[in-house]
């Protein structure tokens, strides 16, 4: 990949990669730092990464960065941090978002990534498989199980709140 292609990749995918990171971390600064790290790695490996395979490479790299990041910091800490920055009265659907974040935090790293990539970012099963190095059928199974788990947790959590 040459400099021009690298710049095109940055312009084309930086917002998508940031959204993916932010939905995982719920912290803008941490997400920006992770995006910068991932694009820095892309620059380092630009001679090995082909232009047409940059998108799955970026999301695979970001997924790995997020897994490492979550090992260092607890997801609950980030949820509390984000909510502490904004008064509850200004948070639309606060209770629902809080329940959803808590249930997503209970998923495995792979399940959480699949749910975010499919349901929030709109990626195809094939694209998710490329990013996470899974088969399409594995992605579908993980997604089915993750959605089922989230539904059960939301039901249980909503009963506790009610």
Whether the pLDDT of residue 90 is over 60: the answer is no
Which residue segments constitute the domains of the chain, with CATH numbers given? 3-161 (1.20.140.160)
For residue range 31-81, list pLDDT tens digits in order: 999 999 999 999 999 999 999 999 999 999 999 999 888 877 654 454 445
Q: CA triplet 154, 99, 68: central angle to 5 degrees? A: 105
Q: What is the DSSP letter of 110?
A: H
> How many other C-beta atoms lie within 10 A of the C-beta of residue 40?
10
Split at pLDDT 50, 70, 90, the class of 94 is low
Whether the pLDDT of residue 89 is over 50: the answer is no
Q: Which pTM value belongs to this model? A: 0.62
Coil vs helix vs strand at 63: helix
The burial class, CB within 10 Å (0-12 / 13-18 / 19+), for 136 is middle
pLDDT, residue 80, reads 45
Whether the pLDDT of residue 92 is over 70: the answer is no
């Amino acid at each position: 990949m040459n400099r021009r292609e690298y710049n095109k990749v940055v312009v084309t995918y930086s917002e998508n990669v940031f959204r993916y990171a932010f939905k995982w971390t719920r912290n803008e600064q941490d997400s920006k730092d992770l995006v910068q790290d991932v694009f820095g790695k892309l620059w380092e490996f630009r001679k090995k990464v082909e232009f047409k395979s940059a998108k799955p490479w970026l999301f695979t790299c970001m997924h790995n960065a997020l897994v490492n990041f979550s090992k260092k910091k607890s997801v609950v800490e980030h949820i509390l941090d984000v909510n502490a920055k904004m008064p509850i009265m200004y948070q639309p659907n606060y209770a629902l978002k809080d329940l959803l974040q808590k249930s997503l935090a209970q998923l495995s790293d792979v399940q959480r990534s699949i749910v975010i990539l499919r349901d929030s970012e709109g990626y195809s099963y094939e694209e998710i498989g490329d990013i996470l190095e899974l088969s399409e059928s594995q992605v579908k199974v993980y997604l089915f199980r993750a959605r089922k788990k989230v539904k059960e947790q939301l039901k249980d959590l909503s009963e506790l709140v009610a």
